[in-house]
Chains A and B, each alone.
Chain A
Amino acid sequence: MLAESLVVAGAIFVLGTLGVIVRRNAIVMFLCIELQLNAVNLTFVAFSRYVGIEGQVFVFFVMTVAAAEAAVGLAIIISIFRHYETVNVDKFNLLRW
């Protein structure tokens, strides 16, 4: 059971990572980040069966942080959007050399 769970979680994580790397829409990148986080949550739950209840407890922490981070991140994106009128991250290159 564990192996399958980890595979699923891993797959979701990889999808999320690839999404962060490849996608250009900022909101979609956030969704992918959420995917990564959720994959990690899945991993935690999967292991909690064998290691202890701490795994599931930790999931709550992760979810809380994810929510907070999503809130802040989306607020930043909206703020940027007000300036750039787009959420295409290709355009956000002021920090380029």
Chain B
Amino acid sequence: MSLVTLFGLFGTQAGGLESHAEWEPLLPGLIILLPLLGFVINGALALSATRKSADAVRAGGEFDFFENGRPTTHSLPTWVGPGVMLLAFVLTLVNFFGMLGAELHEPVIRSYWAWISTGDLHVDAAIQLDQLSIIMMMVITGVGFLIHVFSVGYMQDDPGYPRYFAYLNLFVFFMLVLVMGASYPIMFIGWEGVGLCSYLLIGFWFSDEEKASAGKKAFIVNRIGDLGFLLAIFLLYLVFQKVDYNGVIGDATSVFQYGGAMVTTVTLLFLLAAVGKSAQIPLYIWLPDAMAGPTPVSALIHAATMVTAGVYLVVRSSVLFALAPLSSALVAGIGVLTALFAATIALKQQDIKKVLAYSTISQLGYMFLGVGVGAYTAGIFHLMTHAFFKALLFLGAGAVIHSIHHALHHTHKDWDAQDMRNMGGLKAYMPITWITMWLATLAISGIWPFAGFFSKDEIIWMTGAMAGAENAPYPGLYTVYWILALAAAMLTAFYMARLMVLTFHGENRTGPKEAEHLHEAPKTMWIPLAILAVLSVFGGWINVTTDLRESVLGGFGLLPMGEWLHHWLEPVTEAAHQIQEARLGQVAHAAPFGGGEVAWGMISFIAALAVVLVTVRLLGRKEVPVAVDDAEPTGFARVLYNKWYVDEFYHRWVVDPILTTSRVLWRVVDATIIDGTVRMLGNGTRAIGWVGSLFQTGQVNTYALFLTVGVLVILSMIAF
């Protein structure tokens, strides 16, 4: 196997068939390799930097990486970290435009080497470029680049700067492997790889036990989902003897029965995996804890990319899910329940990042709802818009925390910089952050004409439409979903508006002396915010249904909106859509309780707007005590504040029993029973030996007796 082929960026064309060679992707392997290169360079730098810092720690101090006021370890990662991202993004864009012009019908696959090849199992190290993967790639590299730039400012003062960028680059590498892989095992490499990077980045400040534990929790809970992924791969291999997308998805309709046990099992297992990775009920518990990591990490990993992997998995396997209505209903059900459940918790959280964390869980629930009811494009659409406004929200929160932290640091005040009760009135100090975050808030609340309105609305609408489809499998259930989705949307508007009011409006509560040090974020931090804000405003215009477009919501066809994303993703989703049309018939044109798409669009928009305005009005007037002065919540608020006591439940009924069982297994079974048996054999042998030794009295009389007895016995044996 020559090195050229091994590292050949051009790969070999795989995926046989009649290859439509109209479009030749440009260095797709390089897109993946660039972040990996960044990891290697930054990692090497981190290793040498940590050596020095370790010497300093050993001597009792901390490593001071400032020489002449300029950080010595910072310059290379600053350029390499975001630099490789920018290059990757540009390359992705080039390929995207190439694909735009090429009218691709089959995915383009590039195979680089035979990863596992034994017996019947052949998994190539291959990447697949199609409409879906390129969208994901653009989101990952684009938003990722902006977050890298933001991190330059945010992590300036952190001695772990090179290590941070190393991990961040590694994460993007694995995420790209995840979305670009051409087979499920390759996706799984990326899947677990991003879990690893999540672990490393959540526990980035590993000297803090809480943060390190949060990382560990994320990894272990993710692994529960990974069990599902592995079992699904095994089942697919059992059925198809192949595990690449083309092989499985191509033959799926002919091999699987609609609603059959096999396809339902496979999809349920994939659902388990997705639930773990995308933080849905019951495996969402790691995401709020993940806020222990640096805020840009929360933005990138726990908002824009890693957590969306579950949604990507479902869309990639859309054919399988379309063949399994039970699983799809379950996907949607878990999604909407999580959406509502997480929203309720967000209502009462005081930590700004926790609110956003639960908001993410809730929005992921919407994505699951979308792909569960069969609106795969809507799910991806919401994934995209959510990446924009959620990343913006997290980065904005990061800017706020950064600022408050500085202020508190100056006066050595011991307050929590992330508690919204310690904020307030920041709009005067951080106007750019304030405006951009409001734009994101309006987007996420589903206010027209911002991005979130169109994506969320389409999901809710499709839920209702599917509920009324001709042969809908669970019409009543989907109607319930629809209602819950609407409710969750209202809650979303409320808690986001609450976040904005507490943070930016009213009087500043941080303290008069501290307020002097509050300032806007530096350019490296607010420019990405601005770019994301633009995307949050206009990003939704790429996928507006014709009905909406021609109504007032589309400016009666005057505004430049269209159904572009839907058409773009058709080659990927059409197989699933065909199955849906065949089985479920036509979708309804009216929501469960009447009213068309436009009507409900208007209703949800106006309702959300009303919630936002009322919240701003009412909460803006309220007196908010600072964190140290605030009383513990009581009653139902207490339940919400304590996250419905789910973590405690898990600890009591899952974690502690396993630990106790482990201890019992060790002390009782292993040490006492099994080893006891072994030692018993040894001791038994010694005991028998001891019994034998009793005959050795050392006294002649005894020996004489035995002699005589022995002779008599022998004589009697001879005689008889």
Which residues does A use to contact B, with CB under 8 Å? 17, 20-24, 29, 89-90, 92-97
**20 chain-A/chain-B pairs, Cβ below 8 angstroms:** A17-B704, A20-B701, A20-B704, A21-B704, A21-B708, A22-B701, A29-B700, A89-B700, A89-B701, A90-B699, A92-B698, A92-B699, A93-B697, A93-B698, A94-B698, A95-B696, A96-B697, A97-B693, A97-B694, A97-B698
Interface of B is mostly: helix
Say yes or no: B705 contacts A21, CB within 8 Å: yes
- Say which size band chain B's interface belongs to: 10 to 19
Rounded to whole Å, the gap between the CB of A57 and the closest CB of chain B is: 26
Closest to A14 in B: B708
**The one of A17, A24, A95 that contacts B708, using a Cβ cutoff of 8 Å:** A17
List of A residues within 8 angstroms of B699 by Cβ: 89-90, 92-93, 96
CB-contacts of B557-575 with A (<8 A) = none
Closest to A94 in B: B698
Closest to B693 in A: A97
Task: State the CA gap A78–B110 with chains docked (Å).
Answer: 103
Say yes or no: A21 contacts B698, CB within 8 Å: no
CB-contacts of B698-717 with A (<8 A) = 698-701, 704-705, 708
Interchain residue pairs A-B with the least CB separation, the first 8: A96-B698, A93-B698, A97-B693, A95-B698, A97-B696, A20-B704, A21-B705, A21-B704
List of B residues within 8 angstroms of A17 by Cβ: 704, 708
If A21-B708, A89-B699 are given as contacts, then 19 extra A-B residue pairs at C-beta distance below 8 Å, sorted by A number, are: A17-B704, A17-B708, A20-B701, A21-B701, A21-B705, A22-B701, A23-B701, A24-B701, A29-B700, A29-B701, A90-B699, A92-B698, A92-B699, A92-B700, A93-B698, A96-B696, A96-B697, A96-B698, A97-B693
Rounded to whole Å, the gap between the CB of A15 and the closest CB of chain B is: 13
Interface code B459-498, partner A: CB below 8 Å = 1, 0 otherwise?
Answer: 0000000000000000000000000000000000000000
CB-contacts of B604-663 with A (<8 A) = none
Rounded to whole Å, the gap between the CB of B709 and the closest CB of chain A is: 10
Rounded to whole Å, the gap between the CB of B712 and the closest CB of chain A is: 10
Closest to B700 in A: A89
Task: State the CA gap A70–B390 with chains docked (Å).
Answer: 111
Closest to A18 in B: B708
Task: State the CA gap A92–B701 with chains docked (Å).
Answer: 11
CB-contacts of B673-698 with A (<8 A) = 693-694, 696-698
Task: State the CA gap A83–B700 with chains docked (Å).
Answer: 18
List of B residues within 8 angstroms of A20 by Cβ: 701, 704
List of A residues within 8 angstroms of B698 by Cβ: 92-97
Closest to B696 in A: A97
Interface code B308-328, partner A: CB below 8 Å = 1, 0 otherwise?
Answer: 000000000000000000000
List of A residues within 8 angstroms of B693 by Cβ: 97
Task: State the CA gap A94–B698 with chains docked (Å).
Answer: 6
User: Among the interface residues A29, A89, A92, A97, which one has the most CB atoms of the partner chain B within 10 A?
Assistant: A97
Rounded to whole Å, the gap between the CB of A40 and the closest CB of chain B is: 14
Closest to B695 in A: A97
List of B residues within 8 angstroms of A21 by Cβ: 701, 704-705, 708
Closest to B709 in A: A21
Task: State the CA gap A94–B696 with chains docked (Å).
Answer: 10
List of A residues within 8 angstroms of B705 by Cβ: 21
Interface code B216-249, partner A: CB below 8 Å = 1, 0 otherwise?
Answer: 0000000000000000000000000000000000
List of A residues within 8 angstroms of B708 by Cβ: 17, 21
Closest to B694 in A: A97
Rounded to whole Å, the gap between the CB of A74 and the closest CB of chain B is: 15
Task: State the CA gap A41–B606 with chains docked (Å).
Answer: 133
List of A residues within 8 angstroms of B704 by Cβ: 17, 20-21
List of A residues within 8 angstroms of B696 by Cβ: 95-97
List of B residues within 8 angstroms of A92 by Cβ: 698-700
Task: State the CA gap A22–B697 with chains docked (Å).
Answer: 15
List of B residues within 8 angstroms of A96 by Cβ: 696-699
Rounded to whole Å, the gap between the CB of B710 and the closest CB of chain A is: 13
Rounded to whole Å, the gap between the CB of B719 and the closest CB of chain A is: 15
Task: State the CA gap A24–B708 with chains docked (Å).
Answer: 17
Rounded to whole Å, the gap between the CB of B715 and the closest CB of chain A is: 13
Closest to A22 in B: B701
Task: State the CA gap A20–B706 with chains docked (Å).
Answer: 12
Rounded to whole Å, the gap between the CB of A24 and the closest CB of chain B is: 7
Task: State the CA gap A22–B705 with chains docked (Å).
Answer: 9
Task: State the CA gap A96–B704 with chains docked (Å).
Answer: 15
Task: State the CA gap A86–B700 with chains docked (Å).
Answer: 15
Rounded to whole Å, the gap between the CB of A88 and the closest CB of chain B is: 10
Closest to A93 in B: B698
Interface code B57-93, partner A: CB below 8 Å = 1, 0 otherwise?
Answer: 0000000000000000000000000000000000000
Task: State the CA gap A92–B699 with chains docked (Å).
Answer: 6
Task: State the CA gap A89–B703 with chains docked (Å).
Answer: 12
Task: State the CA gap A94–B708 with chains docked (Å).
Answer: 23
Rounded to whole Å, the gap between the CB of B713 and the closest CB of chain A is: 15
Task: State the CA gap A87–B698 with chains docked (Å).
Answer: 15
Task: State the CA gap A97–B702 with chains docked (Å).
Answer: 14
Closest to A91 in B: B699
Rounded to whole Å, the gap between the CB of A7 and the closest CB of chain B is: 18
Rounded to whole Å, the gap between the CB of A83 and the closest CB of chain B is: 15
List of B residues within 8 angstroms of A89 by Cβ: 699-701
Task: State the CA gap A20–B694 with chains docked (Å).
Answer: 21
Rounded to whole Å, the gap between the CB of A90 and the closest CB of chain B is: 6
User: Among the interface residues B693, B694, B699, B705, which one has the most CB atoms of the partner chain A within 10 A?
Assistant: B699
Task: State the CA gap A20–B465 with chains docked (Å).
Answer: 112
User: Among the interface residues B694, B704, B708, which one has the most CB atoms of the partner chain A within 10 A?
Assistant: B704
List of B residues within 8 angstroms of A93 by Cβ: 697-699
Task: State the CA gap A46–B6 with chains docked (Å).
Answer: 107
Closest to A26 in B: B700
Task: State the CA gap A21–B706 with chains docked (Å).
Answer: 9
Task: State the CA gap A92–B702 with chains docked (Å).
Answer: 12
Task: State the CA gap A17–B701 with chains docked (Å).
Answer: 10
List of A residues within 8 angstroms of B697 by Cβ: 93, 96
Task: State the CA gap A20–B705 with chains docked (Å).
Answer: 8
Closest to A20 in B: B704
Rounded to whole Å, the gap between the CB of A20 and the closest CB of chain B is: 5
Rounded to whole Å, the gap between the CB of A27 and the closest CB of chain B is: 13
Closest to B711 in A: A17
Rounded to whole Å, the gap between the CB of B553 and the closest CB of chain A is: 102
Rounded to whole Å, the gap between the CB of A17 and the closest CB of chain B is: 6
List of B residues within 8 angstroms of A90 by Cβ: 699
Task: State the CA gap A30–B705 with chains docked (Å).
Answer: 15
